[in-house]
Amino acid sequence: MSDANKSVLTAVQEEAGATFMADGDWFWTVNLGDPGGEYEAIRSGVAIWDVYALQKWEVTGPDARAAVQRVFTNNLATLAVGQVRYGAFVDDDGMMIDDGTVYKLADDRFWVMTNSDVFGDVIAGASPGADIAVAYRTHEMPVIAVQGPGSRDMLQTLTTFDLTSLGYFRFVPERVEVAGVPVWLLRTGFSGELGFELIPGRDDAVALWTTLSGLGARPIGLDAVEMARIEAGLIIMAVDYEEGQTSPFDVGLDKTVTVKADPGVRGWSSLAATAAAPPNRFKTLTLQGGDVPEYGAEVFHGDEVVGTVTSPTDSPRFGVIGLAVLRADVAENGTQLEVAVAEGRVKATVTDLSIHDPDKLKARS
């Protein structure tokens, strides 16, 4: 494991029995020996997840909003200080090059959090001559995700800040103390549950992690996150979409493409044309039997291929399911399809993208 991109929380997780996987130059926790128990902590308790490898940028200057907007599909003109917006980052053809979140700290100061490390080059290329400064902040901003229905109650014992006052996809635009540690406090997450994300200083991350785990928050890895995020209909780059090949509408990001507002996003004419009649829809399939299809498995309507399973899993709560890009004419809930598996095909039924919580009431609670 390269020390350059090693999380500040690697050692404390190794001591707890964690295993890791490489994703490019970055490393993620796979599990700590019990993926099923870790998943259950997300759904019924409190889980903590090291999101160090999330790529983080700070954009400042008079043209900061316009420059970020140029490559981001969700409308930033109405974004308030302390508010977060999720959306796609697109190329000149309106195709996705990444997805992520934008945070407004001031009219001339924004954070951008992405999957890949290309955002700095992307924004510079899309807005040459803009009066902005772009700083790479990943190593300065370790992220601890605190997720699960018990997350607010646990964190409230560690801070005087009223957590009930912090709405979904909001953050506190100045540091607050949690367990005596100054942190940026975010009401965001990647679990489909009530949750928060904490950004301490590098030197404080281990102490904060240790305090949380000592109170019963369970450290988790990607094995558990994968089950939870598929149940919640959440996407991953290079799994559910490919850079430069996928429209935001193909992976269910319709609401994050503010077509009517036309805020100056590049590729806008292509996005608007697709919005009028999206050829594909992103849905969940429930599969009969116990066979889990491969990533990229074909979906059939009769003998015709009508889609692709992008993210399959054997869900502890819902059985075998998979996120799938489907042709729009076969994407209505209840439609009966078939999915290719090792032994042939199995029957599958189209259902809500977020099978866990279709209206996202848990995350907003």
pLDDT digits (tens, 9 = 90+) for 141-175: 999 999 999 999 999 999 999 999 999 999 999 99
CA atoms within 13 A on the CB side of 9: 34
pLDDT at 343: 85
Tell whether the model's pLDDT for residue 2 goes beyond 60. no
Q: What is the pLDDT of residues 80-127, one digit of tens each?
A: 999 999 999 999 999 999 999 999 999 999 999 999 999 999 999 999
Confidence of residue 24 (pLDDT cuts 50, 70, 90): confident
pLDDT value of residue 261: 67
Cα angle vertex 131, ends 183, 268, to 5°? Answer: 90
User: Residue 260: which pLDDT band, with cuts at 50, 70 and 90?
Assistant: confident
Q: Which of 164, 101, 138 is nearest to 27 (CA)?
A: 138
What pLDDT is attached to residue 1?
47
The whole-number pLDDT of residue 264 equals: 86
CB count within 10 Å of CB 222 equals: 20
Give the number of other Cβ atoms within 10 Å of residue 93's Cβ.
Answer: 13
Looking at the chain, the whole-number percentage of residues with pLDDT higher than 90 is: 96
pLDDT at position 82, please?
98
pTM for the model: 0.97
Predicted confidence (pLDDT) at residue 28 exceeds the cutoff of 70 = yes
Q: What type of residue is 316?
A: P
Q: What is the mean pLDDT of residues 255-268?
A: 85
**228: its two tokens:** 């939870």
> Over 90: is that where the pLDDT of 138 sits?
yes
Per-residue tokens: 362? 């848990």
- Give all domains of the chain, ordered by start, each with its CATH number: 3-52+142-230 (3.30.1360.120), 279-354 (2.40.30.110)
Residue predicted with more confidence, 251 or 2: 251
- Three-class DSSP labels, the chain: CCHHHCCCCHHHHHHCCCEEEEECCEEEEEECCCHHHHHHHHHHCCEEEECCCCEEEEEECCCHHHHHHCCECCCCCCCCCCEEEEEEEECCCCCEEEEEEEEEEECCEEEEEECCCCHHHHHHHHCCCCCCEEEECHHHCCCEEEECCCHHHHHHCCCCCCHHHCCCCEECCCCEEECCEEEEEECCCCCCCCEEEEEECHHHHHHHHHHHHHCCCEECCHHHHHHHHHHCCCCCECCCECCCCCCHHHHCCHHHCCHHHCCCCCCHHHHHHHHHCCCEEEEEEEECCCCCCCCCCEEEECCEEEEEEEEEEEECCCEEEEEEEEEHHHCCCCCEEEEEECCEEEEEEEECCCCCCCCCHHHHC
pLDDT above 60 (res 128): yes
Supply the pLDDT for residue 259.
73
pLDDT at 262 over 80: no
Report yes or no: 16 and 217 within 8 Å, Cβ to Cβ.
no
* pLDDT of amino acid 155: 98
Per-residue pLDDT tens digits for 222-239: 999 999 999 999 999 999
